[in-house]
Amino acid sequence: MSIIDFKNYKESLNKPKYTTEPKPDRNLYKKNLADKINYFDSQMSLYINNPVIEKCDFSTEGCAIRFITLDNKTEVLLILQDYSPDELDEHCVTWEFYIRNVENDEYLDSRFFSTTDMAIKYFLSKIKYML
């Protein structure tokens, strides 16, 4: 049995412990994911009556909109990558937009947007030219 100095032991309790183990009830990913899904749903409800959006596939859990051309060769995706409602002035949003050639598995265009309005308008404008 080893001897432990009580004073050193008490000080060690106050030191931060660095670990890769998750702490119970402190999973911020799940909390942020719920906020992200709510934000995605609220923003998509503004554009849901658009005839172009009606032809798209939605993934609520993935926070993504996908459009595939009739010949199944080109895929256009808009994904909500990051949403943080805890920022000081306003919430922080990052949208990723990309066009991919499915046959050759190559990316034709890729962009990031920091505003929802700009991301969705760009997404819609690219799809209009493909219809």
d(CA 41, CA 25): 26
Q: What tokens were used for 31?
A: 């909390």
What amino acid occupies position 20?
T
Share of the chain above pLDDT 90, in %: 23
Q: Residues 32-50: pLDDT tens digits?
A: 788 888 888 888 888 888 8
pLDDT digits (tens, 9 = 90+) for 11-25: 777 766 665 665 666
**pLDDT (tens digit per residue) in 61-105:** 888 999 998 888 999 999 998 888 765 556 788 999 999 998 888
Instruction: Give the list of residues 6+ apart from residue 110 with CB closer than 8 angstroms, or none.
Output: 96, 97, 98, 99
